[in-house]
Chains A and B, each alone.
Chain A
Amino acid sequence: METLRILVILPLYGGSLPIGRYAASALKQEGHLTEVFEAPAFYPAYTALSDLKVTTDRLDYLQNSFLNVVSQSILAKVETFQPDLVLAMAQAPLNQQALKRLRRDGVATAMWFVEDYNLFTYWKAFAPLYDVFAVIQKGAFFEDLAAIGQPNALYLPLAAQPDFHRPMDLSPVERRKFGSEVSFMGAGYPNRRKAFRELVNFNFKIWGTEWEGDHVLEPLVQLKGARVTPEECVKIFNATKINLNLHSSIQADELVTFGDFVNPRTFELAACGAFQLVDKRTLMPEAFAENELATFSSMDELLEKIEYFSSRPEERQAYADRGRARALKDHTYAQRMNSLLQFTAERIPGWPKPRDASPIFGVNYPPELKRNILDLLSRLGLPEDVSFEDLVWAVRQQQGKLNDLDTSILFLDEWRKLYKKKS
């Protein structure tokens, strides 16, 4: 697909935030000119409003006003960057008014709703306002979306980012810190709390947040239950013999819920080449074959398989290798983004709209200048046939003071705008 301009709107915080970053990274890798709206930078100011000790109606007004400013900031960015697509992650701070404005202005929008639609039901208000609505579940959800005016729903499961989720050589210190026989990385949902009480006799480490108040598990919780960074997660996955992956549930009656979507950890562990024991999901068979993931369906089976795999490193390695190969083949964010863009092109007539694309190189180009521009393209990760307009934006994305060539390209672009109009 040709080089597109894509504006990725991150959420203020939350689970879709790292996924948004992976998606943006993958879009860049695929050669698209990608700009990221850094909504998390606004979040501290938003939370400061909650500390005001004012009447609730005032607080409500202030919060809405603030979020409106954030939405307006996105619109301003759209106006300057002129993206082919605005890709919003779940909970992106684009209010309904802003979405209507984008639609009026003919700017294509897509939402990647990486949430459980049964638990996170706000999609009912927002889904019809996006041109494309990508989801991680199937079945009735598609019918519901169509019923409320969203015909362009796409099943787009989660994935891994291979340059980040990868096998790592860890130092002995890191192995000691992040490693164990068995570990779990994630929040302390009720089903997990209940299940993990039965694992206290293993060499078991629990990483992540929301584990407070459980005296049995508390000794196993690492870093005093602090948030674990994505970089640390990768180290944990790599350092652990058996990574447990139990999909979350808010009820504790059934430990394994056989829910539908496959969580990001499944793909991330696989891409890391780490061995995991994961609970069965209804959408799992189309993502991984039986011999690519070691699964369990009950607490008994989990215990049994921990015992089994503990003493069989070759089998663990074989699963890990096959899982990694499958993840790299079919489950990367680059592939997801390509599917999304393909789908968008199929569903939105005339998308992407043609835009000005002037060639950079013409005849009689001074060799030294050409050589330097080719170096610049390489530094910015742009193809040699990139348009001048896209080069200008890529130069503008750089931080700090720019060099002579960068500056002369920006300068030339401004001059062109001034004098092209006049001529």
Chain B
Amino acid sequence: MKNYLVIQLARFGDLVQTKRLIKTLLARPEATVHLCLDASLAPLARLIYPDAILHPIMAHSAGTYDGNAFLKMLDNNWRAFAELAQLDFAAIYNLNFSGLNFRLAALFEPEKVEGYAWRNGQEVIGHWPAMAMRWSGFRRLGINLVDFWGAYCPDMLPPGQVNPEATPKGGGIGVVLAGRETRRSLPAPLLSRIAATLAGSRKAQRLVLLGGRTEQAAGQAVIKDLPAAVQRNAENMAGRTDWKQLVETVAGLDLLITPDTGTMHLAAHLGTPVAAFFLSSAWCFETGPYGLGHIVYQASTDCLPCLETAPCQENVKCLNGFADPGFQRFLVTGNPGHSPDGILTLRSEFDALGQTYIPMAGHDSDAPRREVLRRFILHHLTGTEPLFDELEQTFAQQLYRDKDWMTADTHYGIQG
């Protein structure tokens, strides 16, 4: 038996997006997969990864800083770490670029740690995540985070085996009120209009508003703006679902209308079709819904994707396309000719690397370069090169560093 440990200390959406990696490890013969995560997400992880052994720790769930949290955290984590230290792991996949992850890696021999390791007091970043950080310079090209984490394994499962193909389940439409970052969510009146349009065009019998406790008021505002016919069938469940109820609710929907959120990834995991609205810092080629059967409405103004933490100097112009009356019409007709400027409508597809998105309306001007980059990454990861393009040299110069070349592991070399 081989034990594998995945350390995923980030939030809801990231936990779900770790699925290609975890499923790949589970598919290995005689494998036992352990998942170390923030304790607050353990109930969700039990539902999503029932075959993994969970190791909940206090990473973010300790709450605000005070003496009590300090002591509780030390005491709890010490015990959790003691359990981890007793296990013999064949490999540890430490996924988050965070001081917490680097420190946790101190429990393990650095040679066994993929991602973010700790060697004699020094933080060490692996070649693959270091390379990925470099393509943050051209985020419009990027690759899906699910594939990025999956690619820690040379034997990663085909993308089609990660999530079920999405199909309507008969439970109406779900509307996610906001993501963690507010600028990349649609404002309540606009969300209300879009929800009403989609509910009307699909003759939805039920509209469910989803979100946390802090979105309850936003849910009321959305409901207030809905036409009476839709309003009658709308229910504000924001703040009223635990993880189990959220999973059950999302699993039964015909469609989930959502910005880039954890709930969106949950829907993709469950095979519930997603209509995702991506704007501001959210870029679907990085964190779009994984699997077949999803639609992404991606704002495509030249300033995107931006940094959520930086103030917007463009008056959030990426919202304009969604607010354009023509967009409502397009949602109903699906006619590309009705699609307003600044919106790119894409359907989810796979290629040899993993998740990608194909335009249904609007022009994806980055597509040719993105395709070359994806081939370049595929070649880097698998040694498979479907078609060479001279442009790859530009990527090579930007993504490979001198030290990668000079200090790379040579176990794939001819000396074998």
Least Cβ distance of B84 to chain A in Å? 8
Contact partner of A423 (CB less than 8 A), chosen from B65, B77, B102, B121, is B65
A146 to B107, CA, bound (A): 52
Q: Of B66-74, B313-321, B333-341, which stretch is located at the interface?
A: B66-74
Contact partner of B81 (CB less than 8 A), chosen from A404, A417, A420, A422, is A404
CB-based contact B75/A404 at 8 Å: no
The yes or no answer to A407 lying at the interface (CB within 8 A) is yes
Residues of A near B102 (CB, < 8 A) are 414
Q: Of A270-278, A311-319, A395-403, which stretch is located at the interface?
A: A395-403
CB-based contact A415/B100 at 8 Å: yes
Residues of A near B104 (CB, < 8 A) are 407, 411
The yes or no answer to A405 lying at the interface (CB within 8 A) is yes
The yes or no answer to A412 lying at the interface (CB within 8 A) is yes
A362 nearest in chain B by CB position: B67
Known A-B contacts A417-B99, A418-B100; the reply to A407 vs B73 at CB < 8 A is no
Known A-B contacts A412-B73, A422-B64; the reply to A400 vs B100 at CB < 8 A is no
Residues of B near A407 (CB, < 8 A) are 81, 85, 103-104, 106-107
CB-based contact B62/A419 at 8 Å: yes
Contact partner of A369 (CB less than 8 A), chosen from B69, B75, B85, is B75
The yes or no answer to A124 lying at the interface (CB within 8 A) is no
CB-based contact B65/A369 at 8 Å: no
A400 to B85, CA, bound (A): 14
A414 to B73, CA, bound (A): 12
The yes or no answer to A364 lying at the interface (CB within 8 A) is yes
Least Cβ distance of A82 to chain B in Å? 15
B67 nearest in chain A by CB position: A362
The yes or no answer to B400 lying at the interface (CB within 8 A) is no
Known A-B contacts A401-B106, A414-B100, A418-B99; the reply to A365 vs B85 at CB < 8 A is no
Contact partner of A410 (CB less than 8 A), chosen from B62, B85, B98, B103, is B103
Residues of B near A396 (CB, < 8 A) are 121
The yes or no answer to A416 lying at the interface (CB within 8 A) is yes
Residues of B near A96 (CB, < 8 A) are none
CB-based contact B77/A411 at 8 Å: yes
CB-based contact A408/B62 at 8 Å: no
Known A-B contacts A412-B77, A414-B103, A418-B100; the reply to A404 vs B65 at CB < 8 A is no
A39 to B173, CA, bound (A): 65
A409 nearest in chain B by CB position: B74
A339 to B77, CA, bound (A): 43
A414 to B74, CA, bound (A): 12
A366 to B81, CA, bound (A): 17
CB-based contact B99/A408 at 8 Å: no
A400 to B79, CA, bound (A): 21
Instruction: Tell me the residues in window 105-119 of chain B with beta carbons closer than 8 Å to chain A beta carbons.
Output: 106-110, 118
B interface SS class: helix
Interface 1/0s, chain A 368-407, versus B by CB < 8 A? 0100100000000000000000000000111111111111
Least Cβ distance of A382 to chain B in Å? 16
Least Cβ distance of B106 to chain A in Å? 4
Residues of A near B107 (CB, < 8 A) are 401-404, 407
A358 nearest in chain B by CB position: B70
The yes or no answer to A330 lying at the interface (CB within 8 A) is no
The yes or no answer to A413 lying at the interface (CB within 8 A) is yes
Residues of A near B103 (CB, < 8 A) are 407, 410-411, 413-414
CB-based contact A423/B71 at 8 Å: no
A interface SS class: helix
Scoring B77, B104, B110 by chain A CB atoms within 10 A of each residue's CB, the highest score goes to B77
Interface size on B, residues (CB 8 A): 34
Known A-B contacts A411-B104, A419-B62, A422-B65; the reply to A405 vs B120 at CB < 8 A is no
Instruction: Tell me the residues in window 285-304 of chain B with beta carbons closer than 8 Å to chain A beta carbons.
Output: none
Residues of B near A410 (CB, < 8 A) are 103, 106
CB-based contact B121/A415 at 8 Å: no
A244 to B359, CA, bound (A): 89
A408 to B75, CA, bound (A): 8
The yes or no answer to B82 lying at the interface (CB within 8 A) is yes
Contact partner of A365 (CB less than 8 A), chosen from B62, B71, B81, is B71
A354 to B64, CA, bound (A): 26
Contact partner of A399 (CB less than 8 A), chosen from B62, B67, B81, B120, is B120
The yes or no answer to B153 lying at the interface (CB within 8 A) is no
Least Cβ distance of A38 to chain B in Å? 12
Least Cβ distance of B109 to chain A in Å? 5
A84 to B69, CA, bound (A): 30
Residues of B near A401 (CB, < 8 A) are 106-110
Residues of B near A364 (CB, < 8 A) are 71
A420 nearest in chain B by CB position: B65
Residues of A near B81 (CB, < 8 A) are 404-405, 407-408, 411
CB-based contact A400/B62 at 8 Å: no
CB-based contact A415/B59 at 8 Å: yes
A396 nearest in chain B by CB position: B121
Least Cβ distance of A262 to chain B in Å? 38
Known A-B contacts A415-B59, A422-B64, A422-B65; the reply to A405 vs B106 at CB < 8 A is no
CB-based contact B62/A415 at 8 Å: yes
B107 nearest in chain A by CB position: A407
Known A-B contacts A400-B120, A404-B107, A407-B106; the reply to A369 vs B78 at CB < 8 A is yes
Least Cβ distance of B16 to chain A in Å? 23
Residues of A near B65 (CB, < 8 A) are 416, 419-420, 422-423
A314 to B209, CA, bound (A): 97
Residues of B near A412 (CB, < 8 A) are 70, 73-74, 77
Contact partner of A404 (CB less than 8 A), chosen from B59, B71, B82, B109, is B82
A364 nearest in chain B by CB position: B71
A405 to B110, CA, bound (A): 18
CB-based contact A406/B85 at 8 Å: no
Residues of B near A413 (CB, < 8 A) are 103
A399 nearest in chain B by CB position: B120
Least Cβ distance of A195 to chain B in Å? 47
A366 to B73, CA, bound (A): 12
Residues of A near B64 (CB, < 8 A) are 419, 422-423
A411 to B104, CA, bound (A): 6
Least Cβ distance of A387 to chain B in Å? 14
B83 nearest in chain A by CB position: A404
A362 to B110, CA, bound (A): 34
- Apart from A398-B121, A399-B121, A415-B59, what 12 extra A-B contacts exist at CB < 8 Å? A399-B120, A401-B109, A401-B110, A402-B107, A407-B104, A407-B107, A409-B74, A414-B100, A414-B103, A415-B58, A415-B62, A423-B66
A–B Cβ pairs within 8 angstroms, 11 of them? A398-B120, A402-B107, A403-B107, A404-B78, A407-B103, A407-B106, A407-B107, A408-B81, A411-B103, A412-B77, A415-B62
Report A's interface with B, CB cutoff 8 A.
362, 364-366, 369, 372, 396-420, 422-423
7 tightest A-B contacts by CB?
A414-B99, A404-B81, A410-B103, A404-B82, A419-B65, A408-B78, A402-B106
